[in-house]
Amino acid sequence: MKPDRIVVAGLLVSLLAACSNGGSDTQAPPPVSAATTASAASPAAPAADALAMASFAGYGDMRFGMDEAAFRKAWGGELKGQPPAAGSSCTYLYPKWVKTPAEIGFMLESGHFVRYDVTTARETAPGGGKIGMDKARLLALYGGKAQEQPDKYVPGASTLRVEGNDHGVVLFELGADGKVTKWRVGVPPQVDYVEGCG
């Protein structure tokens, strides 16, 4: 057989083989290894990190008592907000990505980080409390540390105040149905400001 006929014959054999497996020349995917599984599961890691962001000492790398420059450096991203109103030393800063300022806001008073307010169920308070949780569940989490008081404005609503070990306080606001509607963490007296910077 001549060399050019050998090449043609080889091509014909290859084409027949391709036709017999549906015309696809793709190979079977490699087996899934433990490393592949771990990397595929890695998007879940931020959720675990998010649980660790809220603490009695602050939020993530931002610690209560930091001045504004240190706070902004620890945040590391863009923040939006307004300077304090005339006659006030209190203001809120919000992450740039916040669509509704109330999702999470950071209170600064006299130029220092003193409190953060949360109204999204995506965040978990120090100790495990969350928006939507009922009072019985909160009391099971925080036990005798929780002090309940009636809400200042809403009949039948209340607040649960829990002091942490490092001088921070988490305060849950519960609706008349007994479920958490929002919560905040901070240091006294700012954590107890009912109207925020009001």
Q: What is the pLDDT of residues 142-161, one digit of tens each?
A: 988 999 999 999 999 999 99
Residue 48 has pLDDT above 70, yes or no: no
For residue 178, give the CATH number of its domain: 2.60.460
Flag whether 36 is in a domain. Answer: no
Predicted confidence (pLDDT) at residue 99 exceeds the cutoff of 70 = yes
At 52 the pLDDT is 59
In a domain, 16, yes or no: no
The answer to whether residue 142 is domain-embedded is yes
Residue 120's pLDDT is: 92
In a domain, 103, yes or no: yes
State the Cα torsion 50-165-91-97 to the nearest 10°.
0
Look over the chain and give the mean of its residue pLDDT values, rounded to a whole number: 80
pLDDT-derived band at 82 (thresholds 50, 70, 90) equals confident
Rounded to two decimals, the pTM is 0.73
pLDDT at 90 over 60: yes
Domain count within the chain: 1
Region 46-75: mean pLDDT is 84
- Mean pLDDT score, 65-90: 94
CB neighbours of residue 129 within 10 Å: 21
Contact partners, residue 100, CB within 8 Å, separation at least 6: 119
Contact predicate 131/182, CB 8 Å: yes
Residue 41 covered by a domain:
no
Residue 62: domain span: 57-192
pLDDT recorded at residue 129: 97
Asked if residue 47 has pLDDT above 50, the reply is no
Token duo for residue 92: 């809120």
pLDDT value, residue 83:
87
Please indicate whether residue 44 or residue 103 has the higher confidence score (pLDDT).
103
Q: Is 48 a domain residue? A: no
Question: Does the pLDDT value for residue 40 go beyond 50?
Answer: no
In a domain, 45, yes or no: no
